[in-house]
Amino acid sequence: MTKRTKEQLWQQRTEWPLAMVAVAFLVMYSVEVLYQPQGDEARILWAATWITWSLFVVDYVVRLILAPNRWHWFVRHLFDLLIVALPLMRPLRLLRLVVLVGALQKAVGNAVRGRILIYTISGVSLLIYVTSLAILDQERDQPGANITSFGKAVWWAITTVTTVGYGDLYPITFTGRVIAVLLMIGGISLIGVVTASLASWIVQRVAETDSANRAATAAQIDELRTEVRTLAEQLQDDDSNGVG
């Protein structure tokens, strides 16, 4: 059994707690964008949001410190650095919620088709919801913006992630366009992963069926050989008795 590194142990122990923090962050971010609280409520929500965000920063720093080769780890986790460093990319940290997707997968079972169904539904729903919040937060107060409500933001996210792109709604800010690019890449990547997984499952099933057929054919051939050998021995015995 392979011995786990300190970083792997830390990641295993903090996976679920950080997933719960991500859920809390999603709820607070949703309240901030959809209800736009004012006064003390806004300040409390702002403080709570950044407290939860700081936990992800701590997680990044600890994993960097515990890594056996820090420079190699740093280079391999540049995307994590961007996520914790750039406020405009903060919704992407909600990808920690894939842990919850894994829990749903256990409830469904270990069937590959079950995993694909759960990953697809959960991944698409989370991607659309988060990007809808992010694009609405960036666009609605801008002069000339056309994504001014959550309904329009969801419609834009759906048409973008499916690569339909009617063009009736579109971001006008730089940050909004960055979010759009990330949504396009995420949608294409998700479709690619699902397609590859499904193709792999089909190939595996075909190979298993082919192996089973070969095994059955070999068993039938062995059985026929045994029967032929038995008949040959009976004929020899009959000939011997006839001669005698």
Q: What is the pLDDT of residues 70-82, one digit of tens each?
A: 898 888 888 778 7
Q: How far is it, in rounded angstroms, from Cα 212 to Cα 219?
A: 11
pLDDT at 104 over 60: no
pLDDT at 155 over 90: yes
Q: What is the pLDDT of residues 56-71, one digit of tens each?
A: 888 888 988 988 888 9
**0.75 exceeded by pTM:** no
What residues have CB less than 8 Å from 93, skipping those under 6 apart?
22, 25, 53, 56, 83, 84
